[in-house]
Structure 1
Amino acid sequence: MSFFQQHSTKTSRKHVQDPALQPWVEKYRPKTIDDVSAQEHTVAVLRRTLTSTNLPHMLFYGPPGTGKTSTILALARQLFGPENFRSRVLELNASDERGISIVREKIKNFARQTPRAAQPHVTEDGISYPCPPYKIIILDEADSMTQDAQAALRRIMETYARITRFCLVCNYVTRIIEPLASRCSKFRFKPLDSSSTSLRLHQISSLENIPISTSVIETLINVSQGDLRRSITYLQSASRLSHSTNPPTEITSRDIQEIAGIVPDDVINDFATVLGVDIVVGSGMQTDSKGRAPGFDGVRSKVRELVREGYSASQILSQLHDLIIEHPTLAAHRKAQCALSFAEADKALCDGADEELWILEAALQVYKALA
């Protein structure tokens, strides 16, 4: 075997990845736009572009983990097929390559190249690849591009529109300059609803042979807040944790909360009870041995206990805020007083203030508001 044959064999082996070691986010990334969860409106429009192959410049925007990058990659694969995908698609993460030099050199050079003619073809499996006569440039995290870089992109999009189409992917559409946004068809990606996320997580757990309860799925949905990528990552981490023992243990909601960095519900409920929040209907406030609600010393000892456990101050206050605001029987003016104290504490924590002092400050303000 010659040196070049050996080198090519090593290179080919290098790119073969064991599916067992692959992140589930990549392993179960949609292969076609029909596999994309939720986003019915966007999928319906893009499905029609597959038949006409007349693709405009596009702007995908929405929260993280809602399928923006997966959708455009799936569409590109369906347009060009595996053989032409590498030569026809340029994917750049604009958060890394965000300056004007990248636009003037890398993007412009790729955009100006006339694509090699390729005939539409149908595979043996009956899958058709129309392979239209243009290329696609995908700019992920486009809202991280500088203003100058975005301005330089305007002329390139116009000049080479016949042979190159752009897809800008971003979280915050307001950070894309108006002249650039007006050149694109906008597609808003919504946070995934509970049923779509639940269906996808059940599919993955069944394919991976992981027994998982409905309560665990609900916990995953709650902690991920519409971010499917995050919920899949948490599920994979929990699966590895459960298989680290022999025999494997069952995944619980507590496991998911620990992985996600969420303070367990019983810890927050216990803290809220000390502050005078009635958690269970009819239970009344927790009282000390003398029949009084815990005062300053009781609140301070509870705060110290939470800090010793290593929980994040921001996370504690965020969950306590949600519990109080969503409380069914608390008066609106009391909720407003509590919300103001949480806002003040959050601002102080963002500025680098002491965590224990500000948890105590917010806790005492809530305690006073609920007295």
Structure 2
Amino acid sequence: MQAFLKGSSSQSVKAQKPSSSSSSSAAEKKKSAPWVEKYRPKCVDEVAFQEEVVAVLKKSLEGADLPNLLFYGPPGTGKTSTILAAARELYGPELYRQRVLELNASDERGIQVIREKVKRFAQLTAAGARPDGKPCPPFKIIILDEADSMTGAAQAALRRTMEKESRTTRFCLICNYVSRIIEPLTSRCSKFRFKPLANDIQQERLLQICGKENLKYTAEGIEALVKVSEGDLRKAITYLQSASRLNTDQEITEQIIVEIAGVVPPKVIEALLQICYRGTFEKLELAVKDMIDQGYAANNILSQLHDVIIDEKLSDKQKSVITEKMAEVDKCLSDGADEYLQLLSLCSVIMQQATHSS
């Protein structure tokens, strides 16, 4: 009898354990979730700054109808968040998984995926009603994120699928560069351009997150965050989370944001330009090598040099020669060229133009 009681009590303890551990793991998972996902808009009304898109989508949602969509614009402006929020409002949480197929650039984007995965999903019948009784549209949504990375053949195959399955499926193509989408696809979609977010909109959203996460911050720190993210709210939120993880007790300052974002200090850029104007080529070699050795990204140096050069007291012709060289260097860096050699090449052109002016 004692043995039986002992066994049953140990079983009850074992049965209780998973529930406590699962609840703690769920809480831990929620705590460690990226803030970009945590604060992603849950409905179309929460989408920031894209008034035209929101107005059209709200009208479409009222009638439970939707055209094929093409969202384009800079990264971090809310393209994916907007269509996901619209899909959740259309279908509700129960039908969402059945009715929405999302593919992004991490998936294969060749013609085979369009022929198999996309076509198979598009041919399924959209059945079932919403449990809450709200009107549910008789179509599914296929979201193709970063559609500009799809091959030409895949885009051509997608056009045919769009035509054939128009009764049961709507497509939403999302891309940064609309020029990389073939004309037959763009003509079948309602196009919406997403603008880079205004500074005050970004600041407002970041302050909301700071309040919810109980973060200490300075006004300069938030301003720096808005400046380095350049209209990309996703980047701003990611930097904010990184800053909060690094400095759990300290307030988020401009210095912390500058370090996290990998921004080159203005003093370093100024010192490099002074060598270009008055120094020797040997000093220039050492300065460029030192900047690369310190871990500053060549793209960041290039971007900041561009902003400073535009305001410098040089003639329009000199600025045009330098900026043309910057464009060449930017292309070479994108193609994987050596950072040190490219920056040295650019700085030597700046030095050459500066000596002409003097």
Do they superpose with TM above 0.5?
yes
Distance of 1:348 and 1:78 partners within structure 2: 45
Aligned counterpart, 1:262: 263
Q: Does residue 1:336 correspond to 2:320, yes or no?
A: yes
Distance of 1:35 and 1:130 partners within structure 2: 22
RMSD across aligned positions (CA): 2.8
Deviation string 1:219-274 (CA, Å, 9 cap, x unpaired) is 2222222111111101111111112xxxx222222222222222122221232334
Aligned counterpart, 1:110: 121
Aligned residues: 340
Displacement of 1:50 in angstroms is 1.2
Aligned counterpart, 2:302: 317
* Structure 1 residues 319 and 150: alpha-carbon distance in aligned structure 2, compared to 1, 3 A threshold: same
Displacement of 1:9 in angstroms is 12
- Structure 1 range deviating more: 18-27 or 256-265: 256-265
Greater helix percent: which structure?
2
Report if aligned partners of 1:120, 1:131 keep a CA contact under 8 Å in 2.
Answer: no
Distance of 2:81 and 2:157 partners within structure 1: 26
Of 82, 86, 95 in structure 1, the residue corresponding to residue 93 of structure 2 is: 82
Which amino acid letter does the alignment assign opposite residue 61 of structure 1?
Y
Report if aligned partners of 2:95, 2:130 keep a CA contact under 8 Å in 1.
Answer: no
Aligned counterpart, 1:275: 276
Which amino acid letter does the alignment assign opposite residue 304 of structure 2?
Q
Report if aligned partners of 2:43, 2:89 keep a CA contact under 8 Å in 1.
Answer: yes
Distance of 1:353 and 1:18 partners within structure 2: 40
Report if aligned partners of 2:74, 2:194 keep a CA contact under 8 Å in 1.
Answer: yes
* Structure 1 residues 12 and 161: alpha-carbon distance in aligned structure 2, compared to 1, 3 A threshold: farther
Report if aligned partners of 1:197, 1:221 keep a CA contact under 8 Å in 2.
Answer: yes
Deviation string 1:19-53 (CA, Å, 9 cap, x unpaired) is 21000000000000111111111001101111111
Structure 1: state its 5+ residue gaps.
Answer: 123-128, 277-292
Report if aligned partners of 1:234, 1:260 keep a CA contact under 8 Å in 2.
Answer: yes
Aligned counterpart, 2:7: none
**If the length of structure 2 is used for normalisation, what is the TM-score?**
0.85
Structure 2: state its 5+ residue gaps.
Answer: 1-11
Report if aligned partners of 1:121, 1:130 keep a CA contact under 8 Å in 2.
Answer: no
Aligned counterpart, 1:367: 351
Aligned counterpart, 1:70: 81
- Structure 1 range deviating more: 71-80 or 309-318: 309-318
Which amino acid letter does the alignment assign opposite residue 343 of structure 2?
I
* Secondary structure, aligned partner of 1:75: helix
Deviation string 1:135-170 (CA, Å, 9 cap, x unpaired) is 111111112222222212222222222221111111
Displacement of 1:307 in angstroms is 3.4
- Structure 1 range deviating more: 215-224 or 113-122: 113-122
**If the length of structure 1 is used for normalisation, what is the TM-score?**
0.82
Which amino acid letter does the alignment assign opposite residue 22 of structure 1?
A
Of 57, 67, 81 in structure 2, the residue corresponding to residue 56 of structure 1 is: 67
Report if aligned partners of 2:243, 2:257 keep a CA contact under 8 Å in 1.
Answer: yes
Report if aligned partners of 1:341, 1:366 keep a CA contact under 8 Å in 2.
Answer: no
Report if aligned partners of 2:92, 2:130 keep a CA contact under 8 Å in 1.
Answer: no
- Structure 1 range deviating more: 155-164 or 77-86: 155-164
Which amino acid letter does the alignment assign opposite residue 30 of structure 1?
P
Displacement of 1:56 in angstroms is 0.8
Distance of 1:9 and 1:111 partners within structure 2: 42
Displacement of 1:194 in angstroms is 1.1
Distance of 1:85 and 1:62 partners within structure 2: 26
Of 109, 134, 148 in structure 2, the residue corresponding to residue 98 of structure 1 is: 109
* Secondary structure, aligned partner of 2:103: strand
* Structure 1 residues 337 and 168: alpha-carbon distance in aligned structure 2, compared to 1, 3 A threshold: closer
Of 171, 176, 188 in structure 1, the residue corresponding to residue 181 of structure 2 is: 176
Aligned counterpart, 1:288: none
Distance of 1:79 and 1:345 partners within structure 2: 47
Distance of 1:336 and 1:310 partners within structure 2: 29
Which amino acid letter does the alignment assign opposite residue 18 of structure 1?
K
Matches within 5 A, 1:114-153: 114-119=125-130, 121=132, 129-153=134-158
